[in-house]
Amino acid sequence: MTRRLRWSVLALFAACAVQVPAASAQPHDPADRYDDTFRKAAKRSFGPAFDWRLFKAQGMAESNLDPMARSRVGARGLMQLMPSTYREIASENADLALIDNPELNIEAGIAYDRRLWLRWENDSIADDRRQFMFASYNAGRGTLLNAQRRARQRQLDPRQWRNIEKIAPSVPRWRHVETLDYVRKIEVNITRLDDRGRIMKASATARGLKR
């Protein structure tokens, strides 16, 4: 092989090597594939100023963002809605036809959050309103109202979430451990998301918590 030919072959290999990284670039994390749906649904229900990442964090807690998730009690989809709840939400929006469609499931879940958010406007302090919203999404608003009554009996402000946590074990027929863990999990999940809503690596999350 002549020197000129050898250099031509080497140049060809070098050109191919430069193009390999672009060809094998990592696709978007599957966990981020519904971000646009979360963003748009949050904007429709809560307005542009509300942090849409809270609902992605909720979806992580509900189903680990699995659109095929099914619970033992019959909750379905990424936002783990009961069929009866979904039908109730869908009755106000004809576009929400299929509970197993992940985009529509997200839309309905956030619409349900909005309904709960409005109901807690006067029954919670502003800083704790989202905890009441998420807790009632998990356990039902009636359960949280029972908890508030128990807090009043103990001379505690029922609008403060920390007081609900205190009296939770004394509320009859409430699986309070599940609900309190659910709310905490959402709070932890939001720290796992970067400013664009993407799930960060564990090391990056740890650095963020130390700040």
Q: Is 65 left (phi over 0), alpha (psi -120 to 50) or beta?
A: left
What integer pLDDT is reported at residue 19 of this predicted model? 44
Which pLDDT does position 204 carry in this prediction? Answer: 53
What pLDDT is recorded for position 17? 42
Query: Over its length of 211 residues, how does the chain's per-residue pLDDT go in tens digits?
Result: 555 545 554 454 444 444 433 333 334 577 899 999 999 999 999 999 999 999 999 999 999 999 999 999 999 999 999 999 999 999 998 889 899 999 999 999 999 999 999 999 999 999 999 999 999 999 999 999 999 999 999 999 999 999 999 999 999 999 999 999 999 999 999 999 999 999 998 755 555 555 5
What is the pLDDT at residue 31?
A: 81
Torsion on CA atoms 55, 57, 60, 63, rounded to nearest 10: -30
Cα 150 from Cα 101, distance rounded (Å): 39
pLDDT at 15: 46
**To the nearest 10°, the Cα dihedral for 58, 137, 179, 59?**
-20
Distance, in Å, from the CA atom of 52 to the CA atom of 38, rounded to the nearest integer, reads 6
pLDDT at 97: 87
Instruction: Kindly report whether the global pTM for this prediction surpasses the value 0.85.
Output: no
Nearest to 116 by CA among 203, 55, 200, 196: 55
Domains of the chain: which residue ranges? 30-210
CATH 1.10.530.10, domain 30-210, yes or no: yes
Give the span between the Cα atoms of 82 and 204, in whole angstroms.
35
Place of tokens 């696709």: 27
Residue 1: the pLDDT is 53
In this prediction, residue 201 carries a pLDDT of: 80
b/e for 57-85, b at 16 or more Cβ within 10 A? Answer: bbbbbbbebebebeeeeebbbbbbbeeeb
β-bridge mates for residue 70, sequence order: 76
